[in-house]
C-alpha cells in the first residue's frame, strides 16, 4: 500500500543500520557489473578521498534492528560515511533493492501457530498437510491447546514422534482461555521471523501457505492475509443465512471502517513476527472481532498488507467453538473499533 512506500525513506532514518558495501560485492560476485544502486555507490566512492566507502542502508526486517557489518577485516580501513539524510532518492532506491536481495537470500523461518480446542482428528490431518505442502521451507508448528478433553494433546504427541519434536511444539495451557490469548501464548514460543496463523479445523487448507510466503517475498509485505471474497477464493458449505450475515457484516464494516482489506474476519494470515507482536498487544477483542481488530489496527498503523485468495471449506469434523450472540458481539466490536482506531 502507498503508506508503506512513503514509510520507506523515513524508516531508514530511524533504523539507520550500517554496512560496508564493498564486502557485500565481494561476497556476491554477481553484483559486480549489475549497475545497481549498490554498485553505483561503489563508483561514487572513487571520487571521495578514501580507499573504501562505508554506506548505510536500511534493512527492511523489522523483527530485529540488526546491523550487518563488514566481516572482512581488510575492508575496515578508514572510510567515509555517506550520510543517510543526504540523498533520500538514492537511499530509497537502495533500500528497495537491498530489501529484495536480503529477503531472498536469508533463510526465513516460519512459525505456524495453530490454536486447538477439541480438534483431535483435525490437528493430525492439518499437520500432515502442512508437511506435505511445505517441503523446502524452514518452519515449525506450534500447537496451542487449551486442555481439550478429547485428547488432542495425545494426538499431537504421537505426531511429534512421526515428525520430530523440534518441528512440532506443543504449548498447552491448562484450561480454555480463549483464542486471542492463545495466539499470544504461541507467539511467545515462536522462533521464526515470520508467523503464520491458521485454524485447525481444515477450513484453512495448508496448500495455500506457499502462496502466502511467495506473496510476502514478492512484495515485502508485513502482513499477508487470506481473503475469501475475491475471484480465486471462495466458501463452501455455508447456508444462505450464514452467507447473508457474512455479507451484511462485511458491507457494514467496510462502510464504517474503510479498512482497505476485503476479508476482515478471516484468520488465515502471515505476519512478520515483530508486526504481530506490535499489533497483538493493542488488541483486546474476542472471537471474530479479534481478527477484525488485528487487521484494522495494523492497517491504521500503516503496515503493508497484501492479500491472497483462499478457499474456505466449512469444517468437516468437530464442532464450531464460536457461537451464541455473535451478531451482537460483532456490532459492539464495530462500534468499539470506530472509537478507538
Number of residues that bind another protein (CB under 8 A): 50
3-state class (DSSP) for residue 247: helix
Which of the stretches 76-84, 141-149, 228-236, 333-341 binds ligand GTP when contact is defined by CB under 6 A? Answer: 141-149
- How many Å apart are CA 4 and CA 216, to the nearest integer? 14
Tell me which residue has cell 485468495: 309
Which of the stretches 1-9, 79-87, 116-124, 282-290 binds another protein when contact is defined by CB under 8 A? Answer: 116-124
Which of residues 203 and 285 has its CB atom nearest to Mg ion in the complex? 203
Residues in the chain: 341
- How many Å apart are CA 204 and CA 200, to the nearest integer? 7
Among 75, 127, 142, 144, interactor with ligand GTP by CB under 6 A:
144
Beta strand pairing status for 305-309 and 223-227?
A: parallel
- Residue 293 as a binder of ligand GTP (CB under 6 A): the answer is no
- Minimal CA–CA distance to 120: which of 78, 80, 148? 148
- Minimal CA–CA distance to 12: which of 81, 73, 90? 90
Shortest distance, position 143 Cβ to Mg ion, whole Å: 16
Of all residues in the shown chain, the one whose CB is closest to ligand GTP is 320
Tell me which residue has cell 443465512: 241
3-state class (DSSP) for residue 248: helix
- Residue 230 as a binder of another protein (CB under 8 A): the answer is yes
Tell me which residue has cell 512421526: 162
Which of residues 8 and 115 has its CB atom nearest to ligand GTP in the complex? 115
Which residues form the interface with another protein (CB under 8 A)? Answer: 120-121, 124-125, 128-129, 132, 150, 154-155, 158-159, 161-162, 202, 205, 228-231, 233-237, 243-244, 247-248, 250-252, 255-258, 300, 311-318, 337-341
Which residues form the interface with ligand GTP (CB under 6 A)? Answer: 115-117, 119, 144-146, 176, 178-179, 182, 199-201, 203, 315, 320-322
Amino acid at each position: 500500500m502507498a503508506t508503506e512506500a512513503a514509510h520507506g525513506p523515513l524508516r531508514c532514518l530511524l533504523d539507520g543500520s550500517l554496512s560496508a558495501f564493498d564486502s557485500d560485492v565481494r561476497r556476491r560476485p554477481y553484483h559486480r557489473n549489475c549497475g545497481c544502486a549498490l554498485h553505483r555507490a561503489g563508483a561514487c566512492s572513487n571520487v571521495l578521498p578514501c580507499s573504501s566507502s562505508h554506506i548505510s542502508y536500511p534493512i527492511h526486517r523489522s523483527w530485529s534492528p540488526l546491523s550487518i557489518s563488514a566481516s572482512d577485516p581488510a575492508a575496515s580501513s578508514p572510510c567515509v560515511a555517506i550520510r543517510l539524510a543526504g540523498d533520500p532518492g538514492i537511499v530509497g532506491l537502495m533500500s528497495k533493492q537491498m530489501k529484495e536481495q536480503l529477503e531472498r537470500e536469508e533463510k526465513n523461518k516460519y512459525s505456524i501457530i495453530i490454536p486447538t480446542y477439541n480438534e483431535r482428528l483435525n490437528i493430525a490431518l492439518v499437520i500432515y498437510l502442512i508437511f506435505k505442502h511445505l517441503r523446502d521451507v524452514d518452519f515449525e508448528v506450534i500447537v496451542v491447546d487449551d486442555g481439550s478433553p478429547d485428547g488432542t494433546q495425545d494426538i499431537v504427541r504421537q505426531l511429534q514422534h512421526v515428525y520430530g519434536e523440534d518441528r512440532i511444539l506443543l504449548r498447552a495451557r491448562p484450561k480454555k482461555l480463549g483464542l486471542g490469548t492463545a495466539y499470544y501464548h504461541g507467539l511467545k514460543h515462536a522462533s521464526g521471523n515470520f508467523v503464520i496463523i491458521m485454524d485447525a479445523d481444515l477450513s484453512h487448507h495448508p496448500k495455500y501457505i506457499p502462496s502466502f510466503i511467495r506473496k510476502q517475498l514478492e512484495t515485502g509485505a508485513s502482513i499477508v492475509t487470506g481473503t475469501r471474497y475475491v475471484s480465486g477464493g471462495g466458501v463452501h458449505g455455508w447456508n444462505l443465512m450464514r452467507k447473508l450475515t457474512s455479507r451484511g457484516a462485511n458491507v457494514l464494516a467496510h462502510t464504517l471502517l474503510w479498512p482497505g482489506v476485503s476479508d476482515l474476519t478471516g484468520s488465515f494470515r502471515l505476519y512478520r513476527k515483530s508486526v504481530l507482536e506490535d499489533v497483538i498487544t493493542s488488541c483486546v477483542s474476542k472471537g471474530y472481532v479479534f481478527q477484525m481488530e488485528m487487521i484494522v489496527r495494523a492497517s491504521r498503523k500503516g503496515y503493508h498488507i497484501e492479500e491472497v485468495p483462499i478457499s474456505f471449506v466449512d469444517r468437516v469434523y468437530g464442532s464450531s467453538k464460536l457461537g451464541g450472540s455473535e451478531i451482537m458481539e460483532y456490532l459492539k466490536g464495530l462500534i468499539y473499533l470506530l472509537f478507538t482506531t
